[in-house]
Structure 1
Amino acid sequence: MAPGPPPPSWSSIPKKFELAVICSVRIVDFFQQAALQAFMFYQLASFSPDAPESEISFQVGVLQGVFTAAQIFTSVIWGRVADNPAWGRKKVILVSLVGQGISCIGVAFSRSFAAAVIWRTLGGAVNATVGGARTALSEKTEKKYHSRTFLLLPLAWNLANIFGPPIGGLMSDPVQYHPEWFGENSTFGGKNGVAWMRKYPYAPANLLCALVMFADAALVLFGLEETLITCQGRRDRGFEVGASIKELFSKYVLRRSGYTRLDQNEVTAETAVHDDAELETSTPLAQIMKEEHPRPQTPPKPTPVGPVPFSRALTRNVFLVMSTVALLDFQLGGFTGLWTMFLSSDRRDPNNDPKPQLPLKFSGGIGFSPSVVGLAMSILGVVGIICQLTLYPRVNARFGLLRSTRYSLFFFPIAYILAPYLSLLASSSSNQFLLWTGIIMVALIVISARTFAVPGMVLLTNNASPGPEVLGTIHGLGAAVSATFRTIGPIVAGHWYSNGLERGMVGEAWWLLAVSALMGCIPVFWVKDGR
């Protein structure tokens, strides 16, 4: 009996460069969101210097919420547009990246809370990277590789959280925090300092985000081939230019390294053998059919199909998956907002603030500056990558997709219950090691749970699709549901946090979020892995 094909592995995944391009779409999207979190509290405070922390905390929730609120109304539309042969996945992703770059420029030069809200709403309205990247990733690789390739999406979030918050924090208000370079009589500031940085102290960080978005749009234009089946075979001038650039680069590198380029016939023959090895199946009949009927050199032109009714996508399992996604994204959005506000809020002053009445009534935050907030936020990314590379493969292999996803949801409420007690360490102890140990422990619990929950729900959403012709619609629907509850989450959490601060009970918002997380553990037990 002939041995079966080797199990899928990272090394055997085809089209790695294009997968990296798709992953970069989510990295830059997460990057601009993560960078903003490091200084958002302080930029809003600069608009109204006399506003109390409770009001700024509420504004933080609103500014985070409007970005995803706009996605509620546009995600399904973008999904349908991406399924349309006249557009496809690539054009939708390009519009999204360029539109978000323009939004970042608008936020950079905003002088009021209302202006920032308008520009963030625009950024959310054009953001189709969630559904676009997920759909393209699904179509770019065979299903047997999905358990690995879909890990690239949370990996993108983790990478962005490592670099986004620290860079955003370091580039915030450079005149104040880096006066030797940008202040009066400085290296770049001259006699009076850099004037535009004094007027727009948070513009440099936002402009960097815009530059990153535009650069990735160029990468997608030249490096990604359309994945929609009804668009394949159509000429893509951007991809052709990118292929020519890679060709010239390869020739230059090969010439400098002393290697000789293979003849085109040799390359074609070698590629055909390599492709056959990747597509080999374990059934003898399939192998015989492949030998008797070799693949044509030019793929047949796909037959155009009409739009599929939206109602076909709404199966019972899709509804259950979307319910779980809704509750998960509510508490994840709430956590992101709370964590940012909690790290930025002033510590409890033992001389002026009421004495804590444990275990429930105590006030105060961590009191970090923007750069330290960025460092604390980056811990989430570092912990996430460690969990993905070490914890996820073993646990997922042992328990499977459904069980590992279900069990992971129970860790979120544990972290939310413990988080507010970090304020006691910040206000009552000068031992920074103890405080940072606590921050890392809370981050470890949240990110360990997220490592399984987020890719698990993306895979379950993908597998719940009734067919490939509605895959973009399903991911668009998932993005809309996610956006809806990531909108509600930060706004509600900001309201809870504001009320808690006024009552001297900083843990109120955290514990209400823990209750929400427990509710999210219920519907996933009826979800199936498949249609």
Structure 2
Amino acid sequence: MSASFCPKQGDERTPLLQQHQQNVKPPKPTPLPKAQMFALVLLLISEPMISMSILPYISELVSELPITGGDKRKVGYYAGIIISLYFAGEATTILQWSRLSDSIGRKPILLSGVMGMVIATIFFGLSRTFWALAASRFLAGALNGNVGVMKCMLAELTDESNIAVAFSLTPLTWSVGNTIGPSIGGLLSRPHDHWPQQFSGTFWIQYPYFLPCAVTSAYAALSFLIGSIVLKETLQKHKKARKNTGSHIGNSDLGYTVNTESGGIEGLNGASVSREGDEQERAPLRSLFTRPVMLSIGVYAVFALLEISLGSLLPLAYTTPIRYGGLGLDAGQMGMCLGVFGILNGLIQFWMFPRLVRWIGLRGSLLASISCLFPAFLLFPIIGRQARYAGNEDFMLWIFVLLHMLTMVGVDMAYGSICIYTSSAAPRKNMLGATNGLAQTIVSVQRSVGPAIASSLFAFSLENEIMGGYGVFYGLTLCTFVVIWFSSQLPREAWKYQEDDSSAG
């Protein structure tokens, strides 16, 4: 009897599939390992906290250096270089760190990266020349191999039922770091001016930005200590699982099962990975050049270039004097704005991202988030003109600012989707670190040039009054169409690995 007429009794294959799709409720998500996730969250917060803590005072710091000649319109050039050098440092080493984690484990790479940031940040706070600031900023990125490795651990700790929830924690933790870091940078910079009795020594006058660097470094050192005690090595667990016997041995913590019939491991994306493949030496990089990997990384790279440009233009535009088209905010006010944005970003994304993926799918949620780039860029000229018209204490102006923050929350929600696409594109389980490392290397290059290019175009637009000084924002708005087109080429859901490396369209 045809399957279409008797879905419960006919053919063995199609009726059961239809019954599963129509009558069986999806299984409950696998509980996330709380201790592991807690340790990862603490370690992950340290990077955005440190890297973003300089944003509220970087323009002020650069203006005090003898390189601008007193022309505040040139601050954007040098501030953009300092911001970019962190990601340039990451780009030079992150692939090596990620591939090394495939061999020696994730935990030692994570912990060494955090300690490297601690050392480089202390150097930054003690630097008083442009070249010393640039070198310490570059060193912080070069010593930090955390981003790609943390995504590997998240993928190894999850399965298809809970991966969206796990990756929604990534923007949440980044939002916490992006909230606390700029708040610390804005409130604790120049402590001698704010609390002269408590910080009266000449040290605080000579190094007015050391205190926020010391506080953020202290947190990173604390997360290092907790992580060294609590965090467990997922790569070692992965190897131990292969020694077990049985027809189908599960490991819900790592999101894979060992199938002794095929002699392989069924991982995050359903791939069957041979025992020999996991125990062999690191696979060559050319094996990463598959359509799923390249397309996922391409989307990631183009989006990251626009997003980091948006993020670097925000403090520049908001702290630029009103007569030049900005809001004229000081470091403290800028820190408060970034803090509010971070709170909104974390709470909304943590609640909204898994639901959005369920409602409109992975690609639909990605396209919706990327589309928020349009209002995010176009609101800069609106806010600037409103400030010129009514001043920076106007109520309507701050309504526009709040709307601007909400659109930027929508933009950042794209990262969760992109991370799932990138991790699921890995050809084999033992190439998860290399895949994420390659992605982070290319993205770090984009992030290293993005702030420098965006801030330079911002300064160029102001100096030459291109489109009223807002030419850079209109240009970036047009570039958004590129990432929209790239994203539309992705499959509706995460990639499914196939032995012939063909895509899962």
TM-score (ref. length: structure 2): 0.83
2:466 is the counterpart of 1:449? no
- The equivalent of 2:38 in structure 1 is 20
1:77 is aligned, of 79, 96, 107, to 96
Equivalent residues of 1:327, 1:516 under 8 A apart: no
- The equivalent of 2:56 in structure 1 is 38
Equivalent residues of 2:169, 2:350 under 8 A apart: no
2:106 is the counterpart of 1:143? no
2:447 is the counterpart of 1:486? yes
Equivalent residues of 1:410, 1:521 under 8 A apart: yes
- Farther off after superposition, 20-29 or 91-100: 20-29
Question: Partners of 2:253 and 2:99 in 1: how far apart?
Answer: 32
Question: Partners of 2:440 and 2:390 in 1: how far apart?
Answer: 43
Mapping 1:104-115, distance limit 5 Å: 104-115=121-132
- The equivalent of 2:484 in structure 1 is 521
1:438 is aligned, of 400, 407, 415, to 400
Aligned CA RMSD, in angstroms, stands at 2.6
- Farther off after superposition, 40-49 or 476-485: 40-49
Question: Partners of 2:332 and 2:486 in 1: how far apart?
Answer: 39
Q: Secondary structure of the equivalent of 2:280? A: coil
The AA in structure 2 aligned to 1:413 is: F
The AA in structure 1 aligned to 2:40 is: I
The AA in structure 2 aligned to 1:332 is: E
Question: Partners of 1:168 and 1:372 in 2: how far apart?
Answer: 11
- The equivalent of 1:501 in structure 2 is 462
Equivalent residues of 2:85, 2:134 under 8 A apart: yes
Equivalent residues of 2:33, 2:253 under 8 A apart: no
- The equivalent of 1:237 in structure 2 is none
* Per-residue Cα deviation, 1:134-189 (whole angstroms, up to 9, x for no partner): 0011112233211110111111111112222122101010112x1xx3x2xx2x24
Q: Secondary structure of the equivalent of 1:7? A: coil
Question: Partners of 2:372 and 2:254 in 1: how far apart?
Answer: 39
Q: CA deviation at 1:224?
A: 0.4
Question: Partners of 1:138 and 1:195 in 2: how far apart?
Answer: 49
Q: Secondary structure of the equivalent of 1:366? A: coil
- The equivalent of 2:70 in structure 1 is 51
Q: CA deviation at 1:335?
A: 0.8
- The equivalent of 1:402 in structure 2 is 363
Question: Partners of 1:46 and 1:277 in 2: how far apart?
Answer: 54
Equivalent residues of 2:175, 2:346 under 8 A apart: yes
User: Structure 1 residues 197, 232: closer, same or farther in 2, change over 3 A?
Assistant: farther
Equivalent residues of 1:23, 1:133 under 8 A apart: no
Q: CA deviation at 1:99?
A: 0.6
The AA in structure 1 aligned to 2:151 is: R
- The equivalent of 2:28 in structure 1 is 8
Question: Partners of 1:323 and 1:490 in 2: how far apart?
Answer: 19
Equivalent residues of 2:46, 2:220 under 8 A apart: yes
The AA in structure 1 aligned to 2:101 is: A
Q: CA deviation at 1:378?
A: 1.6
User: Structure 1 residues 50, 397: closer, same or farther in 2, change over 3 A?
Assistant: same
Equivalent residues of 2:373, 2:407 under 8 A apart: yes
The AA in structure 2 aligned to 1:443 is: M
Q: Secondary structure of the equivalent of 2:123? A: helix
Equivalent residues of 1:88, 1:231 under 8 A apart: no
User: Structure 1 residues 332, 202: closer, same or farther in 2, change over 3 A?
Assistant: same
Mapping 1:314-333, distance limit 5 Å: 314-333=289-308
Q: CA deviation at 1:458?
A: 0.3
Question: Partners of 2:176 and 2:345 in 1: how far apart?
Answer: 9
User: Structure 1 residues 232, 339: closer, same or farther in 2, change over 3 A?
Assistant: same
Question: Partners of 1:280 and 1:78 in 2: how far apart?
Answer: 23
Note the residue ranges of structure 2 that are not aligned, 5 or more in a row.
1-18, 242-249, 262-274, 498-505
Q: CA deviation at 1:27?
A: 0.9
User: Structure 1 residues 53, 401: closer, same or farther in 2, change over 3 A?
Assistant: same
- The equivalent of 2:333 in structure 1 is 372
Mapping 1:245-260, distance limit 5 Å: none
Q: CA deviation at 1:310?
A: 1.7
Equivalent residues of 2:349, 2:409 under 8 A apart: no
Q: Secondary structure of the equivalent of 1:469? A: helix
- Farther off after superposition, 506-515 or 98-107: 506-515
Q: CA deviation at 1:112?
A: 0.8
- The equivalent of 1:215 in structure 2 is 222
The AA in structure 1 aligned to 2:289 is: L
Question: Partners of 2:185 and 2:34 in 1: how far apart?
Answer: 30
Q: CA deviation at 1:389?
A: 4.1
Q: CA deviation at 1:496?
A: 0.4
Question: Partners of 1:116 and 1:21 in 2: how far apart?
Answer: 30
1:471 is aligned, of 432, 448, 452, to 432
Equivalent residues of 2:127, 2:133 under 8 A apart: yes
TM-score (ref. length: structure 1): 0.79
Q: CA deviation at 1:508?
A: 1.3
1:155 is aligned, of 172, 175, 184, to 172
Q: CA deviation at 1:323?
A: 1.0
Question: Partners of 2:418 and 2:252 in 1: how far apart?
Answer: 31
The AA in structure 1 aligned to 2:305 is: F
Question: Partners of 1:416 and 1:143 in 2: how far apart?
Answer: 35
- The equivalent of 1:254 in structure 2 is none
Q: CA deviation at 1:212?
A: 1.5
Q: Secondary structure of the equivalent of 2:161? A: helix
* Per-residue Cα deviation, 1:201-238 (whole angstroms, up to 9, x for no partner): 0110111121122111111111101111477569xxxx
Q: Secondary structure of the equivalent of 1:144? A: coil
- Farther off after superposition, 193-202 or 134-143: 134-143
- The equivalent of 1:175 in structure 2 is 192
1:388 is aligned, of 349, 356, 359, to 349
Q: CA deviation at 1:280?
A: 13
Note the residue ranges of structure 1 that are not aligned, 5 or more in a row.
235-274, 287-299, 349-362
2:288 is aligned, of 284, 308, 313, to 313
Q: Secondary structure of the equivalent of 2:218? A: helix
Equivalent residues of 2:165, 2:354 under 8 A apart: no
2:79 is aligned, of 57, 60, 71, to 60
Q: CA deviation at 1:131?
A: 0.5
Q: CA deviation at 1:467?
A: 1.1
2:318 is aligned, of 343, 363, 371, to 343
The count of residues paired between Structure 1 and Structure 2 equals 444
Mapping 1:255-266, distance limit 5 Å: none
Q: CA deviation at 1:394?
A: 3.3
- Farther off after superposition, 375-384 or 193-202: 375-384
- The equivalent of 2:3 in structure 1 is none
The AA in structure 2 aligned to 1:307 is: R
Question: Partners of 1:276 and 1:320 in 2: how far apart?
Answer: 30
Question: Partners of 1:66 and 1:83 in 2: how far apart?
Answer: 27
Q: Secondary structure of the equivalent of 2:43? A: helix
User: Structure 1 residues 337, 89: closer, same or farther in 2, change over 3 A?
Assistant: same
- The equivalent of 1:258 in structure 2 is none
